[in-house]
Structure formats: C-alpha cells, structure tokens
Amino acid sequence: MENKHHDHPINILVDKKLIKVTDDTLTGAEIKTLGSVPSGYELWQEVPGDKDILVNDADTVEIKSGLKFFSTKPTIDPGILI
C-alpha cells in the first residue's frame, strides 16, 4: 500500500494531545513517536461503543480525522502464587 500525503493536516489525538499528520497511513511505532508515548508502553485505538484496539508497533493504521489513541503500561498477569 502506497502512503499518500495530504496538503491539509489530519487531526488525531494521542493521549489527549492534538497531533497533525499529513500521511493517510501510519504504523503504531510512528504514532507512538508522534505522541511521545513512553518506551515500552502499549498503544490503543479508542473505539466508541466497542472494544478498543491494541495497535502493535508494526501495525498499519488508516488515518482519519478524529481518531483517538491512548497509551498504557503493558498488563502483567502475575498468575497464581502458591
């Protein structure tokens, strides 16, 4: 898929910060960089009324105005202690 550039910026939110981009697709890693997401954190795409989507670094996201992303520390499952 070829990445297209737009003349007018597309507005997205990353951790409630407005980010203006001109590409129609970005990887999870690129979104993390643009949003200054701390190293080791997970990136999620907010989906109103449905389950949010985990966005891995290598995943490609089709960028549309109004998309919202948030970062979280990775979930650790401690298991059962005996």
With tokens 């129609």, the residue in question is 24
80 in a structural domain:
no
Q: What is the pLDDT along the chain (82 residues), one digit of tens a residue?
A: 456 666 789 999 999 999 999 999 999 999 999 999 999 999 999 999 999 999 999 999 999 999 999 999 987 666 665 5
What pLDDT does residue 55 have? 98
9 in a structural domain:
yes
77 in a structural domain:
no
Q: Residue 66 belongs to what domain range?
A: 5-72
Give the CATH number of the domain where residue 55 resides. Answer: 3.10.20.90
Q: How many domains does the chain fold into?
A: 1
* CA-derived radius of gyration, the chain: 14
22 in a structural domain:
yes
pTM across the whole model: 0.83
In residues, how long is the chain? 82
43 in a structural domain:
yes
Over the stretch 64-78, which tens digit does the pLDDT of each residue have?
A: 999 999 999 987 666
Name beta bridge partners: 42: 72
Q: Where are the alpha helices (DSSP H) in the chain?
A: 28-34
82 in a structural domain:
no
